[in-house]
Structure 1
Amino acid sequence: MASSSEHYGTNKSETSLAQESSINDSYSVPEARFECPICLAWLRDPVLTSCGHRFCRSCIYSWLEKNSACPVDNMKLNKEDVFPDNFTRREISQQRTKCPNIVRGCLEELSPLDVEAHLLVCEFRIPELPDNEKLRCSFVDVGCDDKFEDEPELQRHLEQHVQKHLTLLSKAYSTISVNRNASTSASAIAQQANFWDPPSKNDGQVVLRDDNLQELLKALYEKIVYLEQKTREQDIIIANMSEQISSYNLSMTKLHQRYCNGSYLWYFNDFKNKLNAMRENPHLMYYSPGFYTSPNGYKLCVRLNLSPKDNHYIAVLIHVMKTEHDDTLDWPFSGKLSVTLIHPAQSFRNIKETMMTRPELDAFKRPVQDLNPKGFGYTEFASLEEILDQEFVQKNQLVIKVQAQTV
């Protein structure tokens, strides 16, 4: 791999830029080493995989029923590669946390693994309300019948059952239709909306007088107005549901970025058109969405552009982004960064480079704006000839994997 430096004389460079569990919500957040990467709660019945990661036994077994790779590093994995971690179990059992009902007077301190059992018998637990006084789910109108004792319980339900609510919204959306052909009988419609009654028959013939015609025209006009109002109401309902579905899809995307634990896949779509655009404008740069090193860790993003030194190469750099919790982080950012260009069919062709951060560089200092103007990475990460000839691009898509680990 060819690479170059813009400022510091090394191949690493700094460049300028123009299902969280309900229990985990209730008590102290575990240290990273005691947190299950799948449920993001305290490890329960902890196990260790052959690739060195810890999970709850039930979480990883459920995962492996549908997948054959580790959810953290994507290494090949099966149930035979999972072993009990008694050492971690003992460490967790020695930890102490306060009962979630401390706000109601419970002063009990216990092991995180005992919290669930304690909540069932805690004398300070929320008293069960009569069914008619419980809070209803916000999606009750589309079929969610769950009820809750208090607001925090309702909020946890909304956060943990996004997929269920999306499914209910989708079903409701698909059943909404306006029957413009009025399948009900004329007499039923007339009775519902006080429409005109048809004249009586006389010897098999309908007798229509002028006053009958006037009544008929009036009834038809009222019917048109009535149907237009119903159509408008249905259009509003459909528009609101479409907006809700879009917002939940966006929420799911943000959750994925926040809980990727520093291992992020950037699917760089429409590669050929973007490449032509960068050739026409050498200063054009593309940025990935932001992702986090941990749920409340550092926020980073990836930048791709043509090398300013040789436009036959692509440059790949990483930028530190501003977060709402920067005050709680240690600065400058210190850790190990790995960038991998993924070959879609032959993994041995993957192009991977690993670099350690350098605290003295501006790229790793606390951002004062949304995106740190300085980036760190490779100005000549891979040649375009190699990328295109070896078929790294499939379906007009290039895949870049970034792993960020703090130290």
Structure 2
Amino acid sequence: MSGHNTLAQESSITDNFSGPESRFECPICLAWLRDPVLTTCGHRFCRSCMELWLEKENPSCPIDNTKLQKGVDIFPDNFTRREISQQKTKCPNIAKGCLEELSPLDVETHLVVCKYRPPELPENEKLRCTFVEFGCEEKFEDEPELQRHVDQQIQKHLMLLSRAYSRFTISSQSGASTSAIAQEANFWDPPSKNEVAVPSNDNLNGLLKALYEKVVLLEQKTREQDIIIANMSEQISSLNLSMTKMHLRYCNGCYLWYFNEFKNKINSMRNDSRIMHYSPGFYTSANGYRLCIRLNLSPKDPNYVAILIHVMKTEHDHALDWPFSGRLTITLIHPTQTFRNIKETMMTRPELEAFRRPVQEMNPKGFGYTEFALIEELFSQGYTDNNQLLIKVQAQPV
């Protein structure tokens, strides 16, 4: 029985120290978020990691390359800080008898006072960072601690290695071409994805190989994430399209048409009076009539916009009563002052061709107002919001 408990406990320890969830992981140091901050483009980082990153020339987000300014585009993420503080993990010294459960952010502080911590080694016996020759002065008590440092401080080691390589290139008197090193890296066969190599050589080539391996692993992980994101984006687009179609069918004859780029489209119609804009087709009920809105310049006076309604074909026209009979209300919505809304209501006229059963996708004849509103007033009285005009149509069959 005790054997089972031990195995289960060891499995739990492995789970606890396999790393934080992706939402709690800093993309730069790949460790738990410390003093988390949120960028204006929506990504989380440790404050210290992000401030160091933004000291580069032309700083941008490491995730999507959005331009960022230190002190302007990063903000404290107190919500994530609270979430992390509520997470619980075991003390790394659990195998030695420590049963403390604490927040991941308190682990380092606890290890300093943990009574089960291993005795501190003399300075001359501590393990040095693999990148000590390139400027990393960190020292460690054991191999796991060293390995965690190597895994979490990739950005720091990359900077140290870059500086050392620059000095090496400038001071080299041997005449050896740096392309030879690049060629060796290109033809070096990296290990499988699940293997993790720790640089064992002290020379530059060994370190470059280890660095190349980490880059390959990160590229593989990035590629996998890109594929997942692409698939999710495709699913979301498909879902959005389905939702749009459902909205058009189940709007019960009340449709809001957001007419975008209003000014540009007005100018285009002034240059070519044949240009007309149509809304998507919407239904009076799930199995009712299908209508659409048309907007163009008035053929009588191009200083006015014309708004008309067209009857469209459906797959169930044979089950509907023709000609279409009902009440149509067109409202031009003012974004801030509802008393300025322009609203007109009209009853259909069965004798007109516009309301007969369509024989093609849309009846060529529409019904409405050829001089609905003066264009100049739409601009001067603020009917457009972000260059967008909102038109509401309510269709009620009777």
Q: Could you tell me the TM-score, scaled by structure 2's length?
A: 0.49
For the pair shown, the structure with the greater C-alpha radius of gyration is 2
Q: Could you tell me the TM-score, scaled by structure 1's length?
A: 0.48
